[in-house]
Structure 1
Amino acid sequence: MNKGKALRAGDTIGVVATSSPATEEVLVKSIAALEDFGFKVKVSGTCRETYGGYLAGTPQQRAFELNAMFADEEVDGIMCMRGGYGAPQILNYLDYDLIAQNPKLFIGYSDITALHSAFGQHASLATLHGPMATSDIAHGLNDWTKQYLLRAMTRPEPLGKIVNPPGEEISCLVEGQASGQVVGGNLALVAALMGTPYQVDTKGKLLFLEDIDEEPYRIDRMLTQLALGGLFDDCAGVIIGTWTDCLPKKRDGFSVLDVFQNIVVPYGKPTLWNVQIGHGTTNMALPFGVEASLDATGCELTIEESVTV
C-alpha cells in the first residue's frame, strides 16, 4: 500500500470539503484547534461554499480541490472538513494515478467512507478513519480520542492494541482469531457502494462497521444487503463500532445487537462488539488498508502496521 509521511509540528494539513458545508464560525474554530496541535493549515475554497443547501460546492469543484491538495507540495496531510452527504458524487472525478503518485495521510469518517474505499482500491492508499475538522476538532476532542488521533498522525509505527476508554468494554459475539487489512466504515456508505466500482472489498479482510441515527430495521436492511452481496462470506472477521442514537422506536423491537446476532453472527466469523470508534463521544483513530489481528476470544484488536512512513 502507498502511505503518506507521518506529520510533524510545523507541517501543513490541507482541510478539504468533500461532502456537506459548515459555517464560517466553526471552520475558524477548527483551524485554530489544528494550529494548537502544532500544524499549519491550508483550507480549500469549497470549505466556504454552499451548493444546493446540503453540499459544499459541485461534485466537480470538490473533486478538483481534493486532487489539488494531493498535488500541492506544500500540503503534508489531508483532513476532511466534515461528513454529511456528497462524497460518493466525486468518486468518478478523482485522479487516482495522481493520488497514488503523491501519497498523503488522509483523515475522515462517516460520509468519507466512500473515499476510504475508493483510495484503497484505486490508488492503493492506506488511510485513517478518524476525527474531522469542523464536526469534531472544532468542538474539542476527549483525551482518549485525541491521544489515538495524534499517535496515528505523528508516529510512523503501528498503533498496537486498541483499548477502549474506562467503562466501555469490548465484547465478543463470535469467538476465534483472524487477521488482514482493515476496511469498511459507515454502514450506510458501505451499503451505498454495493454494485459500484468502489464497493468495499472484504476478501480476507477485517470489516469494520459503525453508524448513527439509524433505527434497527434500517440497519437490518443494510446488513442484509451486505450479506446478499457476499461481504460477510468474504471477510476474515468483523469489528463492530458504535451505534449512536440507533434505538428502536417500539419497546419490543430488535436492538442493534439483536440485528447483528441475527444477520452477522451466523456467518461464524470472529466478531468484536462495542469498539469505541464511530460517531460516539470517543472516536479512536483506525487505520484502513493496513494489517491488523483480531482475537475475538480475547476481545482484542491489534493494529500491526503503521498507516504512515
Structure 2
Amino acid sequence: MIKPNALRAGDRVTVVAPAGKPDHEHLKQGIKVLENFGLEVTIGPHVFSDEEGKEAVEQQVKDLHEAFADPSIRGVFCATGGFGSAKIAPLLDYEGIKKNPKIFWGYSDITYLLNAIQKNSRLVTFHGPMAASDLNDEQRTEQTESSLSMPFVEKTAVFSDRHSSLQVLAEGEGRGHLAGGNLTLLTNGLGTPHQVDSDGAVLLIEEVGEPAFLIDLKLTHLKQAGVFDSVQGVVLGNFQVEADEEEKVSKVLRDFFADASFPVVKNFPFGHMQPNYGVPLGVNVKLTTSPPQLVVDSGVSR
C-alpha cells in the first residue's frame, strides 16, 4: 500500500463534496478547525453547486481529479456524507490518484470511495470525521477534533477501553489490513470492481439508524457473498439506533457473530457518533480481545 506524506503546518488542503452539498455555516466552522491545525484550507469549485443528476456527478469528479492532480494540495477532506459516491467511483482516474498520493479523508457515503481508491490505487485512505457534518460547533467533541492529528504524525495508534467501553463478541487475536466502513455502502459495493478488499482484513463496520432486521439482512448478504470467509477480525462501531431498537440490534450482532472463528469487538468509537476517531484504511492492524484493543499502524510516511 502507498502511504501519503504526512501533513505539516502550512500545508494546503482542500475540501470536496462527493456525496452532497454541505451546510454553509457548518462547513465554515469545520474549516476553522482544520485551520487551527495550521492548514491552509481551500474548497472545491463545486462544493455548493445546486446541480443534480449527471451534471452533479461530473462536477464532483472534476473537483476530485483537480484536487489530486494539484501538487500544491497535500490533503483532500470530504465535507459531508449523503448519497451518490457509488456513481463517482467508476469515473475516477485511479492511475492518476496513484501517481499523486495524498491524504483522502471521510466516511459514511464516502465509504464507497475510500474502498475504491484503496483497492484500485493502492493508496491508504482515512475513515474519519468530516468538515461540515462532524467538525461543526454543534457536533464536534474534543476527542473527535484530536483525531485530526493522525495524518500529521507517523506513529502507531492504540484504541482501547480508554476510548470507549468495548464489548467482546468473539474471542481471539487477528492481524491484517484494516478495511471497511459503513455497512450499507459495503453491501452496495458487492459484485462491483470496488467491492471491499476483505481478504485477510480486519473489517471495520459501522452504521447509523438502521433497524435490526436490516442490519441482519445486510450482514447476511455480506456473509453469503463470502466477505467473512477470510477476514482476520471484525471491529464494530456504535450503530446509533433509537433506544427501543438498541437491544434488538445488540441481539442481532451477538447471534450473527456467536460462532465466529475470528475476534469480534463491538462499540469502537468510529463513524456516526461522537467521538468519531479517524483511522487509516489499508494499513496493518492487530485486534485482540484480551485485552480488547486495536493497534493501528501509521497511515502516513515522512
Distance in 2, matches of 1:182 and 1:156, equals 17
Runs of 4+ in 1 over 4 A off after TM superposition: 246-249
Task: Tell me the TM-score normalized by structure 1.
Answer: 0.92
Distance in 1, matches of 2:286 and 2:248, equals 28
User: Residue 50 of structure 2 aligns to a residue in which SS?
Assistant: coil
Q: Say which of 99, 102, 105 aligns to 1:104.
A: 102
Once the two structures are TM-superposed, the CA of residue 193 in structure 1 deviates from its matched residue by: 0.4
Query: Residue 143 of structure 2 corresponds to which residue in structure 1?
Result: 144
Once the two structures are TM-superposed, the CA of residue 201 in structure 1 deviates from its matched residue by: 1.6
Once the two structures are TM-superposed, the CA of residue 121 in structure 1 deviates from its matched residue by: 0.8
Distance in 2, matches of 1:71 and 1:22, equals 23
Distance in 2, matches of 1:56 and 1:197, equals 21
Distance in 2, matches of 1:50 and 1:213, equals 27
Distance in 2, matches of 1:68 and 1:205, equals 31
Q: Would the aligned equivalents of 1:215 and 1:247 in 2 still touch at CA under 8 Å?
A: no
Q: Say which of 111, 114, 117 aligns to 1:113.
A: 111
After TM superposition, list the pairs within 5 Å mapping 1:54-65 onto structure 2.
58-65=56-63
User: Residue 276 of structure 2 aligns to a residue in which SS?
Assistant: coil
Counting matched residue pairs gives 300
Query: Residue 194 of structure 1 corresponds to which residue in structure 2?
Result: 190
Distance in 1, matches of 2:197 and 2:268, equals 21
Q: Would the aligned equivalents of 2:170 and 2:257 in 1 still touch at CA under 8 Å?
A: no
Q: Would the aligned equivalents of 1:211 and 1:278 in 2 still touch at CA under 8 Å?
A: yes
Q: Would the aligned equivalents of 1:144 and 1:165 in 2 still touch at CA under 8 Å?
A: no
Q: Say which of 240, 245, 250 aligns to 1:244.
A: 240
User: Residue 285 of structure 2 aligns to a residue in which SS?
Assistant: strand
- CA deviation profile, 1:107-155 (whole Å, cap 9, x unmatched): 10111110111011100000111011110112363222222221x1210
Q: RMSD of aligned C-alpha atoms?
A: 1.8
Q: Say which of 67, 70, 84 aligns to 1:69.
A: 67
- CA deviation profile, 1:267-289 (whole Å, cap 9, x unmatched): 32111111111111111111100
After TM superposition, list the pairs within 5 Å mapping 1:1-309 onto structure 2.
1-52=1-52, 58-139=56-137, 141-150=140-149, 152-159=150-157, 161-165=158-162, 168-245=164-241, 247-248=243-244, 255-303=248-296, 305-309=297-301
Distance 1:194 1:256, change over 3 A: same
User: Residue 203 of structure 2 aligns to a residue in which SS?
Assistant: strand
Once the two structures are TM-superposed, the CA of residue 57 in structure 1 deviates from its matched residue by: 5.8
Once the two structures are TM-superposed, the CA of residue 261 in structure 1 deviates from its matched residue by: 1.8
User: Residue 45 of structure 1 aligns to a residue in which SS?
Assistant: coil
- CA deviation profile, 1:2-56 (whole Å, cap 9, x unmatched): 121111111111101101112322222222232222110111022111234xx89
Once the two structures are TM-superposed, the CA of residue 82 in structure 1 deviates from its matched residue by: 0.7
Q: Would the aligned equivalents of 2:161 and 2:293 in 1 still touch at CA under 8 Å?
A: no
- CA deviation profile, 1:144-170 (whole Å, cap 9, x unmatched): 2222221x12102222x113556x311
Distance 1:22 1:293, change over 3 A: same
- CA deviation profile, 1:172-218 (whole Å, cap 9, x unmatched): 11111110000000001001101111111211110010010101111
Percentage of matched positions with identical amino acids: 33
User: Residue 58 of structure 1 aligns to a residue in which SS?
Assistant: helix
Distance 1:274 1:296, change over 3 A: same
Distance in 2, matches of 1:83 and 1:258, equals 28
Distance 1:227 1:30, change over 3 A: same
Once the two structures are TM-superposed, the CA of residue 74 in structure 1 deviates from its matched residue by: 1.3
Letter in 2 for 1:41: V
Distance in 2, matches of 1:276 and 1:57, equals 36
Letter in 2 for 1:235: V
Distance in 2, matches of 1:262 and 1:233, equals 17
Distance 1:23 1:141, change over 3 A: closer
